[in-house]
Structure 1
Amino acid sequence: MSISDIHLDVLSAVSNGHYYDPHSILGAHPHENGLTIRTLRPLAEAVQIVTGKEKIAATHVFNGIWEAELPEHEVVDYRIQVTYAGETSTVDDPYRFLPTLGEMDQYLINEGRHEELWRVLGSHVRSFTGPMGVVEGVSFAVWAPAAQAVRVVGDFNYWDGRVNAMRELGSTGVWEIFIPGVGVGARYKYEIQAPDGSWRQKADPMARATEIPPATTSVVTKNHHEWMDAEWMDQRAHQNPQAGPVSVYEVHAGSWKQGLGYRGLADELVEYVTDMGYTHVEFMPVAEHPFGGSWGYQVTSYYAPSSRYGTPDDFRYLVDRLHQAGIGVILDWVPAHFPKDEWALARFDGTPLYEDPNPLRGEHPDWGTYVFNFGRREVKNFLVANALYWLEEFHIDGLRVDAVASMLYLDYSRENGQWEPNMFGGRENLEAIEFLQETNATAYRRNPGIMMIAEESTAWPGVTTPTEFGGLGFGMKWNMGWMNDTLRYISEDPVNRKWHHGELTFSLVYAFSENFVLPISHDEVVHGKGSVVSKMPGDQWQKIAGARLLYAYQWSHPGKQLLFMGQELGGEGEWNQDWSLDWGLLESPLHRGLHDCVRELNHLYRTIPAFWRDGHEGFEWIDASDSNANLISYIRRGYDPEDVVVCIANFAGNPHENYRVGLPFGGQWDEILNTDSVDYGGSGVGNMGLVEGEEVPWNGRQYSVSLRIPPLGALWLAPHRD
């Protein structure tokens, strides 16, 4: 096809960088008379085509488009020699390369079934070998189905996208180009022409690295990390987390200790968590977010670890170091909503693309954000692949899915008239349910041994029921009922607690209906709620004693547990993301005692399997009804008949002398935990470490023991072993 055969409108669009298929005009095109090569070089003084055997002058034919005719009848390797203002340089031609997405990739994207979407979309460093040598550069691919044109702008083209217009790949809605000479660290965005003809610059939805906020550009990156956690990953694949200990330390990466970054955390946090005996660290969202005050819950780059703390490889290094220390890593994941920043996902191609177009579904009234269009297969694919990306590219051991309830209900935070029912007339978001089921089923299929954890605050049935039985397919669920009831109970003065005893015991009515995690999370120590210690009534000693008691109750209650960073230090102040934790508190014996008590709780929890058996068989009340004493007692049972722990929790401000507690059998019992120990800053009320079970019927049992029960204290008794 000669230049005269091309419509003037097409040439104009190509030369101005807004043609949907620039590769059909630019680049090399064989025909019966030879080979035509066209290149777009605005403002060039001269252009020559250089092959392995010749150099041919090109002719300017239209508005920066140059053309040369070669005698070859098939495509050859070539470069372009271009002269600007008397200076000549040799460059490569982005329009001589085939698409970097294969037919299968395009088919899977069309179907919304590309489970490794991050490998084909976004920016990727690539190299190609030809007769004239190796060419290195970066391929760019982005989904923008409603766009009229898309081009790449960046440092490498002086932010002039006309010379790097992308081609649309069939019906996929994906636009693609390979640009030679671009490398790691290059900053870029996409310029997208909307259906109305307007242009907008957008960050790459699949960017795997970004500039440090408040800058908003995407950054080309490449993974160089060599993993050293093969032993951990092999063991994980053969284990069921539900059958083992899970004690989680929730961390905000930026404020545990200000300024550490991912690599600093790999030294200090790993050492600390190992010493404290936690099994897992849960990071609040690390996916890039523009506003630090959102704590990561308003994500703009779902595939990029926040550059605030280092590079993607730095984050891999942190995960690797935690694994080598035997610590699992859970990541908060936010698929429920995204912010409206105009440079990010919002109205990406000029239309509601990632967000639901229905105004009664597409915006979240509480958070001022957009809600994903869970019913669109490509959007669902974007999110499912994102979950897999963190699990597989960063070896994450579990995802805690934020705000699940907001996805499940069409009327979530909406008044009458602000929502519309589903096709069956109900309030359930059927598309979101299907999305969650697909995410969970796919994550577990591809990554055995991981955990998918739901933050779900309602009584939705079957959250942790497998998808094949109609459930949502999560492995675990945060027990928000336990959290709310327990924190409300402990905020009462001990003299009033007997009137609230049901708030303490009610959680055992439903404790085995799901696989629960007991969370005392960041949400409970912000926005005027105060820290755990500040929630407690009484003087400082009583507050700290109450925290020791609460944690002992939490650690011995059926379910896994999670504690937000800093609550083991016993500070009165709320968490603030702009400050480091108050590590100076550890200089106080009272605060150090609370810290050491949490360490001992973790040690006992990890070494006593009775605490991991979370079904009905693993828990048995001794006495749940002594509200006048503000006291409860219960048994935790393991699989071994002798793996038994008797737990007594006294929420009264006074001790109980000669308090008799029923036992499952007689003999000697070790007092393996006393939260009132002087070692923890307590008053030392206890039983000298060893007690004798007597054949005195009590609490409906044949054996019992008379105990000194400390004020605001917990005791754990285990059968004595020589």
Structure 2
Amino acid sequence: MTARQPSRSQSDQSQPKAAKAPAFLPGPADEAASAPPARSRPRRAASHGVRPAPPLTPEDRERLLTGSHHDPHALLGAHTVRGGVALRILRPYAQGVTVVAKGLRAELHDEGEGLFSGVLPALRTVPDYKLLVTYDDTELELHDPYRFLPSLGELDLHLIGEGRHEELWKALGAERTVHQDVTGTRFTVWAPNARGVRIAGDFNYWDGTGLPMRSLGGSGVWELFLPGVGEGALYKFDITRPDGSHTMRADPMARRTEVPPANASIVTASHHVWHDGEWMAGRAGRPVHEAPLSIYEVHLASWRPGLTYRQLAAQLPSYVKDLGFTHVELMPVAEHPFGGSWGYQVTGFYAPTSRMGTPDDFRYLIDALHRAGIGVIVDWVPAHFPKDDWALAEFDGRPLYEHTDPERAAHPDWGTLEFDYGRKEIRNFLVANAVYWCQEFHIDGLRVDAVASMLYLDYSREHGEWSPNVNGGRENLDAVAFLQEMNATVYRRCPGVVTIAEESTAWDGVTRATHHVGPGGFGGLGFGLKWNMGWMHDSLEYVSKEPVHRKYHHNEMTFSMVYAYSENYVLPISHDEVVHGKQALVSKMPGDWWQQRANHRAYLGFMWAHPGKQLLFMGQEFAQGAEWSEGHGPDWWLLDPSYSAEPDHRGVRDLVRDLNTAYTASPALWQRDTVPEGFAWVDGDAAEDNVFAFLRFAADGAPLLSVSNFSPVVRHEYRLGVPQQFAAWTEVLNTDAARYGGSDVLNPDPLKPESVPAHGRPASLQLTLPPLATVWLRPT
């Protein structure tokens, strides 16, 4: 489970600071630039021939001005009436409003409180009109937002209502568009409990009075098209709650945000031109569990602190490629208010964090990694969200994204809220979000965080703090259905993408297909891979022991093979294992500095040879001794030759490079990761010797022998049984080599098998086992 920090309160940041009046911009931004500071203005006489429009009822007027009207377009804009066309305009702070069209110029009557109206005689149809709005000595020509038809189609509304809109981000949020031949931005938001919704932004001094949105029927969606509002505009939704109070909320579907702690949403559009066509065309060519997968886990903000996405693109791909990793895994990049949460408390699920640049800057980084031949996996957090009062919590005045049952809504560990997976619109929000990252940013994999906390109703809850499901069990059936739908949708829409579960229990069928029902009666969850948390905990427990005590813990290194083929596994040494007092990987090892590094190297050699893909967190590739901190990142200075002429840290990094090179070149280490035929123990019972020896097999039967000696003594003429048909075995990797910082106890010459039975095989080798080292041998 991923470590978290409590979310910092952002209540004092919930309202953006009033911006200085911008330069004249088209549309509502012009209005903001010129709007006087007070709404009360002297009334002006109307143009000759324009008679007053029938007044609004007191109820409609109040609802309109307080932001509680569900259909402002019925009151505002132009409508044909007996004897002409009636217009009503809501322009707070304006001194006057004149309607202009071909052959027409008519000044409207001032009704007070920003309302202007009139009936234009002798018109049978609504003309293509504009507004001249006067503020003090400034007159602006503007489009009227209330003359436009709804900009969201019936199919979109139907799919939203069904909870099946797989490209939801194209229907909700802020979409730069051309509507009825006018360029502007369509704003849409789902707020079914709201009495009214208005748009506030830097284009109207954060006063949404003049921009109420319309409700689109029973969908719960509110919409307004704003002509002239373009990229870079800041906005929020001013929501009138059921009790009549107001709350200013960031857009749940925002695709760009301000840099925290500011939290307004930003209108954006992508202009990035992708250059990774070759990568995208080829990534689906081979199932991921039958391909090499070696993952370098990165916290982008601290890998090289201070770098932007584009600066990272100039450094990260070449570093990862040089070390031979096939993929990077990025800790969450979705927007989050508190940097100390490492991204695991998300408020902007559709927005890459703005701390390092724009969404297109992030695309540029992904593009650069792909062009370097590096796949990109992103941590995705659908398990919970923070309680910040400008974000998702009680978004429209009532529980909406969270469960309506307080016991089900509050996460007991992290001070956050859990999603209501039983509500179709919430499932849609999350499923579409998974598709969004893969489709819009060309992400190659999603590592889904904290799956166990989603699957169990009693997760971290005591007796009496949870209620069983309809079958009397502890399984969260809604979460199961959501994960199955998410996986099925992602795999169908995004060929070549892999989903990976961080699931810390023995839930049956995490990586089984959704249509295959297991012994527990559930279909598989449909993930491609699962983190092997059991292997991680057991193996780290073993290597942390002094060698003299390891024989009593031997089974902790062999037990993983009892269940190795129950799921498709990744072996993770992740950020969670090197923070909060757990120590860096090398610092977990016993002994002096030489022994710690030797143990570290031997463990990596064992890990790379063990069935399953592997993941290593940044800094561990060069045996950083200090725990990771998001404040300063890896200790890169340890690699500087001026710090030490010895290969202490550079040697470990060289080993990781060679491990990846040999791994990728050895199908035996990855081709049959998920089937028993790909593995065989040679000697899994040498507890007294602290030795583990096993064979890995490629699809064509070609073997690789891995031998790990976790004792500090050299073992000469150590006999191991091997397949008989090979003439000689050659050492292809030895973690004790001098260039890695080892004692250079090697097997330099090819080893010829002898016809001496051993370990149930008719032939055997005698080799030298270096101290605290792993050796790989391949037949010739």
Query: 1:164-179 counterparts in 2 under 5 A?
Result: 164-179=211-226
Q: What displacement does 1:375 show?
A: 0.4
Residue-by-residue CA offset, 1:634-688 (whole Å, 9 max, x unaligned): 00000123x2101101111111111111111241111000110111111011211
Q: What displacement does 1:94 show?
A: 1.1
Match of 1:378 among 418, 422, 425: 425
Task: Return 686-695 or 224-233, whichever deviates more.
Answer: 686-695
* 1:714 equivalenced with 2:774 (yes/no): yes
Amino acid at match of 1:87: T
Q: What displacement does 1:5 show?
A: 6.5
Residue-by-residue CA offset, 1:153-212 (whole Å, 9 max, x unaligned): 110001110011111110011111111121111111111111111101111000000010
Match of 2:754 among 666, 690, 694: 694
SS of the residue corresponding to residue 28 of structure 1 reads strand
* 1:651 equivalenced with 2:698 (yes/no): no
Task: Return 42-51 or 426-435, whichever deviates more.
Answer: 42-51
Q: Contact (CA 8 Å) 1:333, 1:402: kept in 2 or not?
A: yes
Work out the CA distance in 1 between the residues paired with 2:214 and 2:441: 31
Task: Return 93-102 or 231-240, whichever deviates more.
Answer: 231-240
Match of 2:684 in 1: 624
Query: 1:322-333 counterparts in 2 under 5 A?
Result: 322-333=369-380
Work out the CA distance in 1 between the residues paired with 2:761 and 2:67: 84
Work out the CA distance in 2 between the residues paired with 1:570 and 1:20: 61
Match of 2:347 among 297, 300, 310: 300
Higher relative contact order (CA 8 A, sep 6+): 2
Q: What displacement does 1:243 show?
A: 1.2
Residue-by-residue CA offset, 1:77-111 (whole Å, 9 max, x unaligned): 21110112132121221111111210011111111
Match of 1:99 in 2: 150
Match of 2:558 in 1: 505
Q: What displacement does 1:447 show?
A: 0.9
Match of 2:47 in 1: none
SS of the residue corresponding to residue 452 of structure 1 reads strand
Match of 1:36 among 80, 86, 104: 86
Match of 2:652 in 1: 594
* 1:555 equivalenced with 2:615 (yes/no): no
Work out the CA distance in 1 between the residues paired with 2:580 and 2:570: 23
* 1:125 equivalenced with 2:176 (yes/no): yes
Match of 1:254 in 2: 301
Q: Contact (CA 8 Å) 2:67, 2:240: kept in 1 or not?
A: no
Match of 2:194 in 1: 147
Q: Contact (CA 8 Å) 2:52, 2:118: kept in 1 or not?
A: no
* 1:199 equivalenced with 2:246 (yes/no): yes
Q: Contact (CA 8 Å) 1:15, 1:65: kept in 2 or not?
A: no
* 1:675 equivalenced with 2:731 (yes/no): no
Work out the CA distance in 2 between the residues paired with 1:203 and 1:577: 26
Amino acid at match of 2:366: V
SS of the residue corresponding to residue 382 of structure 2 reads coil
Q: Report the identity percentage.
A: 57
Structure 1 runs not aligned, ≥5 long: none
Match of 2:104 among 48, 54, 78: 54
Q: What displacement does 1:265 show?
A: 1.2
Q: Contact (CA 8 Å) 1:672, 1:689: kept in 2 or not?
A: no
Work out the CA distance in 2 between the residues paired with 1:376 and 1:691: 64
Work out the CA distance in 2 between the residues paired with 1:102 and 1:678: 68
SS of the residue corresponding to residue 337 of structure 1 reads coil
Q: Contact (CA 8 Å) 1:18, 1:162: kept in 2 or not?
A: no
Q: What displacement does 1:69 show?
A: 2.8
Q: What displacement does 1:27 show?
A: 1.1
Work out the CA distance in 2 between the residues paired with 1:260 and 1:286: 14
Match of 2:361 in 1: 314
Q: What displacement does 1:32 show?
A: 4.7
Task: Return 57-66 or 80-89, whichever deviates more.
Answer: 57-66
Amino acid at match of 2:57: H
Query: 1:135-534 counterparts in 2 under 5 A?
Result: 135-469=182-516, 470-534=523-587
Task: Return 213-222 or 287-296, whichever deviates more.
Answer: 213-222
Work out the CA distance in 2 between the residues paired with 1:87 and 1:575: 57
Work out the CA distance in 2 between the residues paired with 1:122 and 1:319: 24
Match of 2:64 in 1: 14
Match of 2:28 in 1: none
Q: What displacement does 1:136 show?
A: 2.1
Q: Contact (CA 8 Å) 1:676, 1:686: kept in 2 or not?
A: yes
Q: What displacement does 1:73 show?
A: 2.4
Match of 2:12 in 1: none
Work out the CA distance in 1 between the residues paired with 2:236 and 2:698: 56
* 1:579 equivalenced with 2:632 (yes/no): yes
Cα gap change, 1:62 to 1:12, in 2 (>3 Å): farther
Match of 2:3 in 1: none
* 1:84 equivalenced with 2:143 (yes/no): no
Question: When the two structures are superposed, what TM-score results if normalisation uses the length of structure 2?
Answer: 0.90
Task: Return 9-18 or 600-609, whichever deviates more.
Answer: 9-18
Work out the CA distance in 2 between the residues paired with 1:609 and 1:293: 40
Q: Contact (CA 8 Å) 1:304, 1:312: kept in 2 or not?
A: yes
Q: Contact (CA 8 Å) 2:148, 2:180: kept in 1 or not?
A: no
Work out the CA distance in 2 between the residues paired with 1:543 and 1:77: 78
Q: What displacement does 1:129 show?
A: 5.3
Q: What displacement does 1:68 show?
A: 3.1
Q: Contact (CA 8 Å) 1:228, 1:320: kept in 2 or not?
A: yes
Amino acid at match of 1:594: V
Match of 2:693 among 633, 638, 649: 633
* 1:703 equivalenced with 2:753 (yes/no): no
Work out the CA distance in 2 between the residues paired with 1:197 and 1:225: 43
Q: Contact (CA 8 Å) 1:253, 1:261: kept in 2 or not?
A: no
Q: Contact (CA 8 Å) 1:336, 1:404: kept in 2 or not?
A: yes
Work out the CA distance in 1 between the residues paired with 2:758 and 2:381: 50
Amino acid at match of 2:434: A
Work out the CA distance in 1 between the residues paired with 2:684 and 2:253: 53
Q: What displacement does 1:2 show?
A: 8.7
Residue-by-residue CA offset, 1:283-323 (whole Å, 9 max, x unaligned): 00000000000000000000000000110001001111111
Amino acid at match of 1:389: Y
Structure 2 runs not aligned, ≥5 long: 1-50, 517-522
Work out the CA distance in 2 between the residues paired with 1:77 and 1:652: 86
Task: Return 73-82 or 519-528, whichever deviates more.
Answer: 73-82
Residue-by-residue CA offset, 1:230-265 (whole Å, 9 max, x unaligned): 111111233311110010000000111111121111
